[in-house]
Amino acid sequence: MLQYAQHLTDNAGRMVILRMIPPREMSAQSLEKLRREVQEIGALPTLPEIPMRILELIADEKSSMEDISKLVERDPSLTANILKVANSAYYGVRQRVASLKLALAILGFNEIINIVTSISVVRIFPSHGRSASFDRNKFWKHSFGCASAAQMLARELRFETAGVDFVAGLLHDIGKLVMDQYFHPKLREIWSMKEKEGTPLLVAEEQVMGADHAVLGSWLAGSWNLPPVLAESITYHHRPLDVLALPTPSEKPALAAIIHLADILACEPELNFTETAEASQSFGDNLAWKIILAERPDLGRDALERFMGKYEEYREKVSALVLAVS
């Protein structure tokens, strides 16, 4: 079984090796523990029918814009919100988008899916967390920042991700919201370990919860019946090389690597949420590039620097997207 050293930064910003991770055993044990605890507290949030159906269309190669349009038109409130987002500064459309048909024509199939998913997921969770220490607006800024970075990387790398890159980035940290909503006392303990003892976040989560937020998020994705490739990218966004050890080969092994790198880009001070931002050099030297370079061996250092510069164009518009969706 493949194992690799998990790297995190300590309080001094140094890269440290925490341990060797046997991925499959950890996930199985963690999920079982979480299932027992969730059974004690009640059901997890569920996606409404229309967003659920739309996400199913992502995995359906035969789906069309007409299919999306018919679904969305059943929810006038959702339609209104789509138009609000479509007219936001994030998309920068010069003409006013006044109809769903025009939004589909201008923005395209994948962007409408991204907007619907964004609106639906944000709606599920209350705008305020269990305490002032969990700033949900800041959480969504980081999540949308990661989503934008993932979309940019997938486009620049010319990877066929079937439009799931944005959604995968948006949902990568959804497990943190579940912790705040349903396991708040434990989340406070986790943050205390991180702030007072300097324990890396993932380590504190595993010690207190028995699993980190990525594992919890993947279980939520499973309960929503999201496409397996989405659940996989959430599970492994901190451990992208573990995808190579899966018993069944991944359909899109590069997606977890893209989300991992996008997460680093979205950890700059303006968008960072709870994790210590890694040094900027770790973007270009990250082990996740091994997966990407296997498919794009032509990439050089100049390409990596171009990606970081390109992200600036996306980052500046993230706040506008969060405001429009909220």
* Tokens 């963690």 sit on residue: 30
Helix (H, G, I), strand (E, B) or coil at 114: helix
In this structure, what DSSP letter does residue 130 have?
A: S
75, pLDDT greater than 80: yes
Taking the C-alpha atoms of residue 87 and residue 98, their distance in angstroms, rounded to an integer, is 9
Q: Which of 6-10, 30-34, 235-239, 315-319 has the weakest average pLDDT?
A: 6-10
Q: What is the pLDDT of residue 9?
A: 36
Contact 227, 39 (CB under 8 A): no
Q: Considering the chain, tell me which residue range(s) the CATH 1.10.3210.10 domain(s) occupy.
A: 26-45+127-325
Q: What is the pLDDT of residue 138?
A: 84
Which CATH homologous superfamily contains domain 26-45+127-325?
Hypothetical protein af1432 (1.10.3210.10)
- In angstroms, what is the C-alpha Rg of the chain? 19
Task: Express each pLDDT in 293-315 by its tens digit.
Answer: 888 888 776 777 777 777 777 77
Contact 86, 107 (CB under 8 A): yes
